Amino acid sequence: MRWWPGDGEEKKGPKKKILYLVNSRRKKSMRTVERLLEIQQAELTVVVGKEEGLKHDLRKAFSGEKERVQILGWVKNLAGLIQQHDLVVTKPGTISVREILATGRPVILVEGGKGADKRKGMCRMVIRVGCGALADSPREIGARVKAAWQGGGVGLREWTRRARREAERSRGAAEKLAERILKMTQTAHSVDRIPELRLVPRQATNRKGLLMVDLHAHSLFSDGRLTLRELVDFYGRRGFDAMAVTDHLVDRRRLLGRLANMTGLVLTLDDLPEYFRALAEERNRAWTKYRMILFPGLEFNHDGLTAKGSAHLLGVDLQEPIDPALSLKEICHQVRQQGGLTIAAHPHHMSSSWGKDTLYLWSRQDEFRPLIDAWEIGNRDDLFNPVGLKRMPFIAGSDFHKPKHLTS
């Protein structure tokens, strides 16, 4: 049975889980953590994003409170982390208020600071909905949290009830239907399940038309700017017929692969079960809400110290993960065994400065031609004319990391 704050006596109850998303200077964030830890039975998670220096300072300052406070850097599945807590403390803009309310969790918003006028709308929303409070100092943050737990946690329970009601109200009918279908497919026999995406029948029409498809896009699971849900909505609202999410997975045997695993900007082996689970969930929602096909995929990064020793290979329409430490030929075979497509990503010299050249596959094109289903002839602003001149199967992809890439 889930515990709610206020059940039982104050001093003997379970931990009160508070999530503090930092978006303030070092001194103020330190004081805020101190105030929150003054609350009896408080269990605190602090997320500092990419501020490695602040993360180090906080861990050092509160090293004696390891049982009560956890300091995290960059978090990929922030929505999941929010759902594990009872209350969120943050400044508007760190994450949108609607994203927090979508999880059914109440929030205390920190007012003031640079750009406060632009954030007034978010603050008014919290007051209007009645799902939290506003505060303008570490002392007031602590006071607001203590007040929420007074009287057996009546205040917090009321905030939570209203936050959940707002989350339910904002969910569209299509999303509810998608969730219902997903639950049905989890218990149905295989023959009753939703058909595989490649078998989804097209609507009958007497006219032939072009399809809008992008088979190279990245989410927050690796180095993209948008969460997986935001990415699906971004493409769906723009009328795309199909897309593939191909987040980065590196070869851990290589030095650059091991270094990349430490950045938080690529998938790790531990991330893969959650990644494929999230893709399966979004695949159903994408089809139900937008009639858009979502292909689960991966971008296998085999990065060497030179351009000719580096290769990026897309695996599209995967049913399950593939070990990135396998050779590129073995990865190609496994992708095809799953019925997927292999695509050589940006295989030629790039004129843009956003990334390094990956020429390994192109320099061995005769060797890999039987294993590659398509070669990227266009990647964002780069056009690879030599690929077209070879008369090999080719494809263009946005290599989407942020919204402006779609118009490249």
- Give the domain ranges of the chain: 16-170, 174-407
Mean pLDDT throughout 120-136?
A: 79
Q: What's the pLDDT score for residue 9?
A: 37
The CATH number, out of the four listed (3.20.20.140, 3.40.640.10, 3.90.1150.10, 3.40.109.10), of the domain defined by the range 174-407: 3.20.20.140
Q: What's the pLDDT score for residue 295?
A: 96
Mean pLDDT of the chain: 80
Q: What's the pLDDT score for residue 112?
A: 64
CB contact at 8 A, 78 and 19? no
Of the chain, the percentage scoring pLDDT greater than 90 comes to 34
Q: Are strands 311-316 and 293-302 parallel, antiparallel or unpaired?
A: antiparallel
3-state secondary structure of 297: strand
Confidence of residue 213 (pLDDT cuts 50, 70, 90): very high
Name which residue leads in pLDDT, 405 or 19. Answer: 19
Percent of the chain as helix, strand, coil, to the nearest 5: 40, 20, 40
Confidence of residue 190 (pLDDT cuts 50, 70, 90): very low
Radius of gyration (Cα) for the chain, nearest Å? 24
The CATH number, out of the four listed (3.40.1380.20, 3.40.50.2000, 3.40.50.1010, 3.90.220.20), of the domain defined by the range 16-170: 3.40.50.2000
Q: What is the pLDDT of residues 158-170, one digit of tens each?
A: 898 888 887 776 5
Q: Are strands 311-316 and 341-344 parallel, antiparallel or unpaired?
A: antiparallel
Confidence of residue 64 (pLDDT cuts 50, 70, 90): confident
CB contact at 8 A, 371 and 332? yes
Name which residue leads in pLDDT, 8 or 286. Answer: 286
- Phi, psi (5° rounding) for residue 47? -115, 120
Confidence of residue 7 (pLDDT cuts 50, 70, 90): very low
Confidence of residue 4 (pLDDT cuts 50, 70, 90): very low
Q: What's the pLDDT score for residue 119?
A: 56
DSSP of 43-69, one letter per residue?
EEEEE-TT-HHHHHHHHHHTGGGTTTE
Q: Are strands 132-135 and 382-383 parallel, antiparallel or unpaired?
A: unpaired
Q: Does pLDDT of 184 surpass 90?
A: no
| β-strand partners of 17 | 43
- Phi, psi (5° rounding) for residue 375? -115, 135
204-208, 293-297, 353-357: the lowest-pLDDT one: 204-208
Q: Does pLDDT of 173 surpass 70?
A: no
Q: What's the pLDDT score for residue 378?
A: 74
- Phi, psi (5° rounding) for residue 51? -80, 80
Confidence of residue 128 (pLDDT cuts 50, 70, 90): confident
Q: Does pLDDT of 95 surpass 70?
A: no
Name which residue leads in pLDDT, 119 or 17. Answer: 17
The whole-angstrom separation of Cα 381 and Cα 273 is 33
Mean pLDDT throughout 54-70?
A: 89
- Phi, psi (5° rounding) for residue 9? -80, 155
Q: Does pLDDT of 250 surpass 60?
A: yes
pTM: 0.51
Q: Between helices 272-290 and 228-236, what is the axis angle to 10°? A: 30
The half-sphere exposure of 149 on its side-chain side, counting CA atoms within 13 A, is 26
End-to-end CA gap in the chain: 51
The whole-angstrom separation of Cα 297 and Cα 84 is 28
Name which residue leads in pLDDT, 150 or 231. Answer: 231
Q: What's the pLDDT score for residue 150?
A: 78
Of the chain, the percentage scoring pLDDT greater than 70 comes to 77
When mean pLDDT is compared over 8-12, 55-59, 391-395, the highest value belongs to 55-59
The whole-angstrom separation of Cα 255 and Cα 260 is 9
Confidence of residue 388 (pLDDT cuts 50, 70, 90): low
Q: Does pLDDT of 39 surpass 90?
A: no
Q: Which of 253, 88, 106 is nearest to 165 (CA)?
A: 106
